[in-house]
Amino acid sequence: MLPGSRRAEELATPLRRNRDYQMWWSGAAASNVGSYLLTVAAPLLVLQTSGSAGQAGIVAGAAAVAKLAGSSPAGTLVDLCSRRALLFLASALQILAAVSLFAALLTGARGDILLAHLTVAVIVEGLGYSLHTATELPLLRKIVSEGQRRAALSREQSRKAAAQLAGPPLGGLLFSWSPVAPFLAAAVLFLGVMSVALALRVPLGPARRARTHTGSTRGPRLAGLRYVCARRYLRYMLVWFALVNGAFAGLGLLLVVLCHDRGAAPAEIGFAQAAGSAGAVLGAVACEWLTARMAATPLLKASSWLLVAGAVAMAVPASAVITGIAYAVALFLTPAVNVSFMHHLVHSVPDELTGRISMAMMTAARSLNWFFAMGAGAMADLHGPLFPLFSLAGLFLVLACANHVWAPTNTEH
C-alpha cells in the first residue's frame, strides 16, 4: 500500500472502530472511576470516624503530595522503560492500596492507626495514578493517527469527566451501604489498566534507539523541564495550572465540607460531587467544538472568569445538589483549556521527550495541591468553610485579571 493511501485510510477510519483506542479508553475509564471512589470514600471515612476536616485535609494532601512526587520520575520512566510493564506496575500499586484498606476495615482498624493506614494507602495509589497518567500522551501518539488526535484528546476529557461524574455518587452510595464497599469496588476497577497492557496490539515503546539516546543524555530527568522553561507560553501555563489545580484541590475538599456542615448525607454529598462533575462532562462534550473555534488565549480568559463565578456561587446557602451545580460552573471550560494545551504539546514535542515534558507540566500543575488541600481543611476547622472559599475566589479573580495582561498565545515556535 502506498504511504498516501495508508494515510487516507487512517483518517477515514473513525475512532469508534480503532480497537486499540477503544480498549485504552475503556480500561482507563474503569481505573479513573476507581480513583474517584477512593477520592470520596477516604475523606468520608475520616469525617465519619473523627469528624475532623483537618484530618480529611491531611489525607487529601498526602494523595496530592504522592502525585506531585511521582509525576517527574513517572515521566522519565515512560521515555526510558517499557510502557507496557509500567502499566502493569501502575495497576498493581492501585490494587494494593484499595485491597489493603478493605482488609484494614474488615479487621476493625480505628483512630490514629486507620488515619495512618489511609494516608499510606492514598500515597501508594497516587504513585500508581502518576504512572498511569504519564503514559497517556505517549500512548495516544502510538494508537491514534495525527489527523484524529484533537478528537481523541477531546474524548479523553470526556472519559475523565464521565469517570468524575460516575465515581463520586457511586462512592457515596457504596459508603452508605457499607464503608468497606468503595474500597473493594475500586480494587476491581483498577484491573482496567492491567487489562489494557495485555490487550493493546501496537508496540507501546519507547523505541530502543530512543531509550539509548535519551538514557545517555546528561540530566535526563531535567530535559522536559528545560524544554518548558525555554518557551514563554509553556512557562505561563505552568504557573496558571499550578495555581488553578491547587485551588481546585481545596475547592473539592470544601465542597464535601460545605455539604457535610449543611447536614447532607453521604449519598447526597456524592451526588453533589456528581452534579459538579456534570459541568466537566458537558464541557468535555463541547470541547472539540470549542477548541476548533476558539484560540487558546480566549478560552483561558473565559475559563478563568467562570472559576470566579462558580466559587462565589458555592457560598450561597443551598442544598448539596445546588452547591454541586455551582461547582459545575467553575469546571465547565476546563476540559477545553486542557485539550487546547495538550493538542499544542502533542504536535510540538518530540516523541522521545513526550513523557518527561508532559509530566514536567503535570508536576508543576500538582505542586501546590497539598498546600491548598491542607490549608483549606485547616482554615475550615478554624474559621468555617466560607473563609477559605472566598480566599480561593479571590485567587481566581487575580488569575482572571492576569490573563488580560500577561497571557501569551500558543503560536510560539
**Could you report the per-residue pLDDT of 131-179, keeping only the tens digit for each?**
888 888 888 888 887 778 878 888 887 787 778 777 877 888 888 888 8
- pLDDT at site 235: 86
Choose between 108 and 148: higher pLDDT.
148
- pLDDT at site 224: 66
Residue written as cell 499544542? 344
Omega cis (within 30) before 138: no
DSSP codes joined into one string, 225-253: HHHHHT-HHHHHHHHHHHHHHHHHHHHHH
In this predicted model, what pLDDT tens digit does every residue of 325-358 receive, in sequence order? 999 898 889 888 988 888 888 777 776 777 777 7
Residue 309 scores a pLDDT above 80: yes
- pLDDT at site 103: 85
Residue 31: what are its φ and ψ, rounded to 5°? -65, -40
- pLDDT at site 1: 40
Given a contact cutoff of 8 angstroms between Cβ atoms, the answer to whether 311 and 294 are in contact is: no
Within 13 Å, how many C-alpha atoms sit on residue 396's CB side? Answer: 27
Q: Closest Cα to residue 97, out of 39, 44, 164?
A: 39
Domain range list for the chain: 18-403
- pLDDT at site 124: 92
In this predicted model, what pLDDT tens digit does every residue of 69-97 receive, in sequence order? 887 788 888 888 888 888 889 889 999 99
Architecture in CATH of 18-403: Up-down Bundle (1.20)
Measured over the CA atoms of residue 314, residue 173, residue 286 and residue 283, the dihedral's sign is positive
Mean pLDDT of the chain: 81
Residue 16 scores a pLDDT above 50: yes
* % of residues, the chain, pLDDT over 90: 11
* Mean pLDDT for the stretch of residues 397-408: 87
The pTM assigned to this predicted structure is 0.69
Choose between 111 and 190: higher pLDDT.
190
Residue 197 scores a pLDDT above 90: no
Residue 362: what are its φ and ψ, rounded to 5°? -65, -40
Alpha-carbon distance of 101 to 371, in angstroms, equals 25
Q: How many CB atoms lie within 10 A of CB 365?
A: 23
Choose between 412 and 334: higher pLDDT.
334
- pLDDT at site 212: 47
* % of residues, the chain, pLDDT over 70: 89
* Mean pLDDT for the stretch of residues 356-376: 79
Which three three-digit cell numbers place residue 147? 489527523
222 band by pLDDT with thresholds 50, 70 and 90: low
Query: What residues contact residue 200 under an 8 Å CB cut-off, 6+ apart?
Result: 20, 23, 24, 84, 139, 143
Residue 19 scores a pLDDT above 80: yes
According to DSSP, residue 384 is labeled: -
Alpha-carbon distance of 339 to 108, in angstroms, equals 44
Residue 413 scores a pLDDT above 60: no
